[in-house]
Amino acid sequence: MNTTTLLILVIGLGLLGWVVGRAKAARLVAASSSKGSVHSLPNYHGWYVALWGVVPAILFLSIWNIVSPALITDAALTSPAAEALPKDGFTRGSILAEARSIANGDQTKAFNPLSTSMVEPYQAATSYYQTIGMVAALLLVFACGAFAWLKIKPELRARTKIERVTMMTLLLASLIAIVTTIGIFVSLIFESARFFSMVSPIDFLFGTEWNPKAVAGPRGESGFGAIPLFWGTVFIGAIIAMIVAIPLGLMSAIYLTQYAPPTFRAWMKPILEVLAGVPTVVYGYFAALTVAPALRDFAVSIGISNASSESALAAGVVMGIMIIPFVSSMADDSIAAVPSAMRDGSLAMGATKSETIKKVLIPAALPGVVGGVLLAVSRAIGETMIVVMAAGLAANMTANPFSSVTTVTTQIVQLLTGDQEFDSPKTLAAFALGLVLFIVTLLLNLIALRVVKKYREAYE
Amino acid sequence: MNDIEHIENGSETASGGVSSISAGEGSPKMTTRNVEVYYGEKQAINGVSIDINMDNVTAFIGPSGCGKSTFLRCLNRMNDTIPIAKVTGDIELDNEDIYAPDMDVVQLRARVGMVFQKPNPFPKSIYDNIAYGPRIHGLASGKDELDHIVETSLQRAGLWGEVQDRLDDSGTALSGGQQQRLCIARAIAVDPEVILMDEPCSALDPIATAKIEELIHEIRGKYAIVIVTHNMQQAARVSQRTAFFHLGTLVEYGVTSDIFTNPTQEKTRDYITGRYG
């Protein structure tokens, strides 16, 4: 019997527990003299028995699944066939792995003849431990279920206990996201620490030469100066993209909130939101195949002969277009949140619509708009596909938008694609870059959320 | 001027309501004839005709939802900001149809100012709040002149003494009553002919209310003032003419003291004696 069948069986027994528990409670209700002498409804007693039956068994099975492979290997190694195995760790490991997969039926033929001899001990150990696990799990279901069933009494507060289980489940679900974030952050810090033990943080953060391929390994070598990458990221994500996204996003938000007839707004808002849902790789094609060549031709025609076909401008402009919905929807929210009394006050003074927008609405909505822009910047600097496809790989420190620049995300992709050794500084540099990016976007988001929150409070 | 018969005080109209549309002696500043307002399908104002005189404070009273604020907002076309609102009938300011196609709403609102129920100073300095209107209408040719307008407007609104040393503070930092006087000063600053006040004291405490009422007394005569109020004592205190609205119709309009001591209509009597509303 495999794990899936076992799980289904456990859940089936849980259902049985639900029925039995509910039935017992229902009998209690029927037998009780006065209304309300049984604390909880029969349903809750059913759930009480079912959860007692299922949850401990499933917890046991998940732990067993982690522990048992090691136990199986240990058992297999005590067999006489194991004495023939080489002592060398790597070969030994690969033979054992092969034997295990043959025993599980994932593989039919062995590369190493020694593996074949190990298959049988493995199969024996596996079925032995599986049986133990299965029997223990089923015993656990019955024992815990019976325990719960025996506890069903009129005064048992099953309802309160189920409520607590519900709360714990929800708490667990929300913790997973937080724990994952922390886990990612910690792993980034560890890998970065390894990198910084090989390359000085000062060289990394303030060095101006980025040429990681030149580094062979010895401590203190240069070539990991990340300033050109930071500059490229800021140039594309925070400067060019924002020059495109802020005015267009803001103006479309103003039009949609202040001028657009309701029917147009009802059409336009979803379309803008669809723009936010376009996969970034599609924007990447668009930037690399359409915008970049067009911009290069344009640059050449106005006399910039060294214009690159992978330009900062192409990536930045397309990224700006991608960001428009973010800016526009944040600005839309903040403008809509300005009390209409403010707008009416200005109109009643004889101000025109655009005077009202310029002098009253935008100043009043400014903090919200700024928050939205910061969120957009944080999104833009973490964006990868567009820059990988359109911005190029040359780590240039240039303010010429027609030349090729590279960004932090592009270089992370470069460093990690292909065959890499995970202990060379070249690979580990990717983690250091990731850490910097993570911290910067985290800070931007924190500031933006704080600004937006403060702004909301001002009008509530 | 219009083809609607001038209805004398106390005469019966076809609908059973009684309307004296006249505001008394002198030529009226604003006249309205047979005004109807629709919000989509729903009719909010039903055939209101009323004259507003320069020398008077005119009060609109009536139970909630009777249409008095809606009618007030017709007088400076603020209902234009509500897309589904539709206004029919004649409304004239100095014999000029304010709903005529060639009427400039911006000019109209500069001539007919408005003060709202909730004080709504802009999130700018006190000075900039007052200077807002003069600036957008180009009323001052220099800094000195603008300073002068700001000072006189604040003086007229009785706020100068309280804020003269902190003109750079934000208008939103003032107390509720001060904010409302700031809004009145802001309306005065563009030198309007008519000032509409939509329940200007409903968000204020009694002391602040008394100050606003005093202020209305002081500026009366310089501007034609129309005030919508829920508070009948306030109408009796500040106004010379009172119009009673009920369910979108004008029930009675006349000299304030008559309305309060000797109403001609049953509904008016019920309302002012507190039987409903």
Q: Which of A417-431, A435-449, B178-192 has the lowest mean pLDDT?
A: A417-431
Q: In the 8-state DSSP scheme, what is residue A235?
A: I
Residues of B in contact with A363 (CB under 8 A): 123-124
Instruction: Write down the domain spans for chain B.
Output: 3-272
Q: Give the pLDDT confidence score for residue A458 in this predicted structure.
A: 62
Q: Whole-angstrom Cα distance, residue A276 to residue A279? A: 8
Higher pLDDT residue, A375 or B277? A375
Residue of A nearest to B79 (CA): A344
Give yes or no for B99 touching A (CB within 8 A): no
Q: Which are the contacts of A73, defined by CB distance < 8 A and separation ≥ 6?
A: A96, A100, A125
Question: pLDDT tens digits for A113-153?
Answer: 777 777 788 888 888 888 898 999 999 999 999 999 998 88
Q: Find the angle CA(A302)-CA(A303)-CA(A304) to the nearest 5 degrees.
A: 105
Residues of B in contact with A364 (CB under 8 A): 122-123
Give yes or no for B40 touching A (CB within 8 A): no
Q: Whole-angstrom Cα distance, residue A8 to residue A2? A: 10
Pull the structure tokens for residue A363.
């100043």
Q: Give the pLDDT confidence score for residue A173 in this predicted structure.
A: 93
Q: Give the pLDDT confidence score for residue A244 in this predicted structure.
A: 94
Question: From the CA of A222, how many Å to the nearest CA of chain B?
Answer: 53
Q: What is the pLDDT averaged over residues B218-242?
A: 91
Instruction: Please say if the pLDDT value at position B142 is more than 80.
Output: yes
The amino acid present at B4, given as its one-letter code, is I
Ordered strands of the B42-52 beta sheet: B42-52, B30-39, B85-93, B96-97
Residue of A347, A349, A366 best to disrupt the B interface, most CBs of B under 10 A: A349
Q: Whole-angstrom Cα distance, residue B213 to residue A64? A: 82
Q: Whole-angstrom Cα distance, residue A330 to residue A452? A: 10
Q: Give the pLDDT confidence score for residue B6 in this predicted structure.
A: 41
Beta carbons within 10 angstroms of residue B10's beta carbon: 13
Q: Whole-angstrom Cα distance, residue A225 to residue A239? A: 22
Residue with tokens 């089923």: A138
Q: Whole-angstrom Cα distance, residue B227 to residue B186? A: 17
Question: Residues 231-290, chain A: which have Cβ within 8 Å of B?
Answer: 261-262
Contact B132 A339 (CB under 8 A): no
Q: Give the pLDDT confidence score for residue A252 in this predicted structure.
A: 92
Residue of B nearest to A258 (CA): B81
Q: Three-class SS string for A155-222? A: CCCHHHHHHHHHHHHHHHHHHHHHHHHHHHHHHHHHHHHHHHHHCCHHHHHHCCCECHHHCCCCCCCC
Q: Whole-angstrom Cα distance, residue A322 to residue A284? A: 10
Give yes or no for A12 touching B (CB within 8 A): no
The amino acid present at B88, given as its one-letter code, is T
Instruction: Please say if the pLDDT value at position B13 is more than 80.
Output: no
Q: What is the pLDDT averaged over residues A289-313?
A: 85
Residue of A nearest to B105 (CA): A350
Q: Three-class SS string for B12-42? A: ECCCCCECCCCCCCCCCCEEEEEEEEEECCE
Nearest-CB residue to B120 (from A262, A345, A351):
A345
Question: Residues 190-219, chain B: which have Cβ within 8 Å of A?
Answer: 190
Instruction: Please say if the pLDDT value at position A242 is more than 80.
Output: yes
Residue with tokens 């657009």: A260
Q: Which are the contacts of B103, defined by CB distance < 8 A and separation ≥ 6?
A: B96, B97
Handedness of CA A24, A29, A31, A37 (dihedral sign): positive
Average pLDDT taken over every residue of chain B:
86
Tell me the fold of A227-459: MetI-like fold (1.10.3720)
Q: Which residues pair with B96 in a beta bridge?
A: B93
Question: Residues 50-79, chain B: which have Cβ within 8 Å of A?
Answer: 76, 78
Pairing between β-strand B224-228 and β-strand B194-198 as defined by DSSP bridges: parallel
Beta carbons within 10 angstroms of residue B198's beta carbon: 22
Q: Of all residues in chain B, what percent carry a pLDDT higher than 90?
A: 52
Contact B113 A339 (CB under 8 A): no
Q: Give the pLDDT confidence score for residue B277 in this predicted structure.
A: 52
Q: Whole-angstrom Cα distance, residue A276 to residue A289? A: 20
Give yes or no for A354 touching B (CB within 8 A): no
Residue in B247, B249, B135, B241 with CA at minimum distance from that of residue B189: B135
Q: Give the pLDDT confidence score for residue A340 in this predicted structure.
A: 87
Pairing between β-strand B30-39 and β-strand B42-52 as defined by DSSP bridges: antiparallel
Tell me the fold of B3-272: Rossmann fold (3.40.50)
Beta carbons within 10 angstroms of residue B137's beta carbon: 18
Contact B123 A364 (CB under 8 A): yes
Nearest-CB residue to A341 (from B109, B118, B186):
B118
- Cβ atoms of A390 and A318 within 8 Å: the answer is yes
Nearest-CB residue to B133 (from A261, A349, A364):
A349
Q: What is the pLDDT averaged over residues A280-292?
A: 90
Q: Whole-angstrom Cα distance, residue A212 to residue A425? A: 8
Residue of B nearest to A340 (CA): B120
Instruction: Please say if the pLDDT value at position A189 is more than 90.
Output: yes
Q: What is the pLDDT averaged over residues A433-441?
A: 92
Q: Whole-angstrom Cα distance, residue A253 to residue A327? A: 8
Task: Give me the interface pTM, i.e. the ipTM.
Answer: 0.84
Question: pLDDT tens digits for A12-38?
Answer: 999 999 999 999 988 888 888 777 778
Give yes or no for B184 touching A (CB within 8 A): no
Helix, strand, coil tally for chain B in percent (to 5): 35, 25, 40
Instruction: Please say if the pLDDT value at position A291 is more than 50.
Output: yes
Higher pLDDT residue, A82 or A323? A323
Q: Whole-angstrom Cα distance, residue A258 to residue A342? A: 13
Location of each CATH 1.10.3720.10 domain in chain A: 227-459
Q: Whole-angstrom Cα distance, residue A370 to residue A368? A: 5
Q: Whole-angstrom Cα distance, residue A35 to residue A55? A: 32
Q: Which are the contacts of B263, defined by CB distance < 8 A and separation ≥ 6?
A: B244, B252, B269, B272
Beta carbons within 10 angstroms of residue A421's beta carbon: 8
**H or E stretch covering B252:** strand B249-255
Burial A10-22 (b: 16+ CB within 10 A, else e): bbebbeebbebbb
Higher pLDDT residue, A418 or B14? A418
How does DSSP assign A121-142, residue by residue? HHHHHHHHHHHHHHHHHHHHHH
How does DSSP assign A236-287, residue by residue? IIIIIHHHHHHHHHHHHHHIIIIIS-HHHHHHHHHHHHHHHHS-HHHHHHII
Instruction: Please say if the pLDDT value at position B14 is more than 50.
Output: no
- Cβ atoms of B171 and B127 within 8 Å: the answer is no
Residues of A in contact with B120 (CB under 8 A): 339, 341-342, 344-345
Question: From the CA of B152, how many Å to the nearest CA of chain A?
Answer: 17
Q: Which residues pair with B195 in a beta bridge?
A: B113, B225
- SS3 state at A399: coil
Question: From the CA of A345, how many Å to the nearest CA of chain B?
Answer: 7
Q: Whole-angstrom Cα distance, residue A76 to residue A100? A: 10
- In degrees rounded to 5, what are phi and psi of residue A198? -100, -35
Q: What is the pLDDT averaged over residues A289-315?
A: 86
Pull the structure tokens for residue A41.
């409804």
- Cβ atoms of A390 and A284 within 8 Å: the answer is yes
Give yes or no for B107 touching A (CB within 8 A): yes
Confidence at B112, pLDDT banded by 50, 70, 90: very high
Residue in B134, B140, B177 with CA at minimum distance from that of residue B158: B177
